[in-house]
Structure 1
Amino acid sequence: MKRDQSPVLPGDGATDYARYMRTEALLDLQRHPGEVLHRDELLFQVAHQSTELWLKLAEAELTEAVHRVDAGDPAGAESLLTRATLAVRLVTDQLEIFRHLSPAAFQTMQPALGNGSGAESPGWRRVQAASRQLGRAFTEHLATRGATPATFRPTDPTDPAHRLAEAMLEWDERVSLWRVRHLQVALRIGGHAPAGTPGSPATMLAKLTGHRFFPELWQARVATADTPTCAHSRPDSP
């Protein structure tokens, strides 16, 4: 007997998939063909709108990770942070689509963007705030162990706090790689003067590539690498 596939969910759409995913609203969020200045506006909007969705997921995972750390569950926070990191990796990967957007096409569509800038992304601003909250929560968690991010010297790789610290470094690294890739896209299609040129937006983008949410953890990593674990580990030891 053929299964009845008539929609049972409320909402718009001929199928439950369309109603649950709200595809009619989703696919109507882009400028219509009669509105666009250049057909590649669709490419531009899809890439940026999907970025906002991935950032929404990343922020949700980061926020829950903060709650887990506050509750004394760094292992649970690590898992959530790993998911947020993957979301940023996917955001970075999709920047490849801009290889198919020429500077001339971008210049044609630019009036449609007004004064808009990626720096105004609401998703990214929420991710930044959540990242800072994670740093705060981790610092407070370490304080219960008599440590700080700058003095944290984990020796047990199975320690949940150690694993969370590693995940935080991975998050920082993936965000930095995203920023570097975004800078290259801006230089490739945006017509910006190279970083270092007075007044060029690329100068600020280049500075941001070196930003870290958890600088003390990076410093602790360097300090750990520079500190011998025991006397016979030194090259000049007998």
Structure 2
Amino acid sequence: MKRDKSPTLPGSGATDYARYMRTDVLLGLQRQPDEVIHRDELLFQVVHQSSELWLKLAAAEVTETTARVTAGDLATAQALLTRAALAVRLVTDQLEMLGHLSPGDFQAMQPALGNGSGAESPGWRHVQAASRKLGRAFADHLAAHGTTAVDLRPADRADPACRLAETMVEWDERVALWRFRHYQVALRVGGHAPASTPNSSAAVLAKLVEHRFFPELWQARLHSPGTDPL
């Protein structure tokens, strides 16, 4: 007997897949053919809209990481933060698609973008806020156990705090790599003046590359006990 594949979930869409994934809404979020002024607007929107989705996931994972740290469950916190770092790596990889745009292409579609800037990304703002909360929660955890970041022994892989600290450094590094790649794309495709140019957009991006959410963990790598850096 042929299995009935009629949709059972509520909502619009011809299949349960379409209804659960809300594909009608998702695929309608891009500008329509009669709206675009340059064919590569679709590429530009897909890269940035999918980045917002990955950043939404990353921020959610970091938020839950913080909750797990507060609860003392560092092993689960580390696993969740590893997932967040992978999400940012995928966001970074997507920037390769923008390398297929020339400065001329980007300038041609610029009127459609208005005064929009990647700095206005809600996903990025949520990642920033969640990361700051994680840093405070981890510092509170260490203080409650009478220790500091400098006291962590990186060679002690049996210590959940050491393992989480290393993953926090990896998260910081992944975000920095994303910022650096974004900076390079801005120079190559966006036609921005180099960072050495005073008050240029690239100069602002270059400063962000150096930012760290957890500077105390990076500093601790210089002073931590043992021969191996954290």
- The TM-score range, normalised by the shorter chain, is over 0.9
- The answer to whether the 8 Å contact 2:62/2:134 transfers is yes
Identify the residue that residue 24 of structure 2 maps to in structure 1. 24
The structure that has the greater radius of gyration is: 1
C-alpha distance after superposition, 1:173-218 (max 9, x if no partner): 0001001100000001111010110121000101111111001101
Structure 1 partner of 2:15: 15
Q: What's the TM-score, normalizing by structure 1?
A: 0.93
How many pairs does the alignment contain?
227
Q: Deviations over 1:125-166 (max 9, x none)?
A: 011000000000000110122112244345521211111001
Structure 2 partner of 1:190? 190
Rounded to whole Å, the distance in 2 between the matches of 1:99 and 1:177 is 16
Q: Give the structure 1 partner of residue 84 of structure 2.
A: 84
User: Structure 1: how far apart are the matches of 2:135 and 2:148?
Assistant: 11
Equivalent residue for 1:59? 59
Aligned 1:115-194 pairs, distance under 5 A = 115-194=115-194
Give the 3-state SS of the residue equivalent to 2:211 in structure 1.
Answer: coil
Partner amino acid for 1:49? Q
Q: What's the counterpart of residue 74 of structure 1? A: 74
Residue pair 1:194, 1:200 contacting (<8 A) in 2 also: yes
1:99-142 Cα offsets, whole Å, 9 max, x none, are 11111111011011111000000010011000000000000110
Distance between the aligned counterparts of 2:42 and 2:30, measured in 1?
Answer: 7
What SS does the aligned partner of 2:149 have?
Answer: coil
Does 2:215 match 1:221?
no
Aligned partners of 2:155 and 2:226 also within 8 Å: no
Task: Give the match's secondary structure for 1:197.
Answer: coil
Shift in CA distance, 142/228, structure 1 to aligned 2, threshold 3 Å: closer
What is the CA RMSD across the aligned residues, in angstroms? 1.1
Letter aligned with residue 24 of structure 2: E
AA of the residue aligned to 1:115:
N
- Percent identity over the alignment is 73
Q: Are 1:153 and 1:220, in contact at CA under 8 Å, matched by a contact in 2? A: no
Gaps of at least 5 residues in structure 2 are none
Contact 2:64 2:77 in 1 (8 A): yes
Q: Secondary structure at the match of 1:48?
A: helix
Moved over 6 A (4+): none
**Could you give the per-residue CA deviations for residues 59-85 of structure 1, whole angstroms, max 9, x where no partner exists?**
110010100000011111000000000
Q: Using the TM superposition, name which of 172-181 and 152-161 deviates more.
A: 152-161
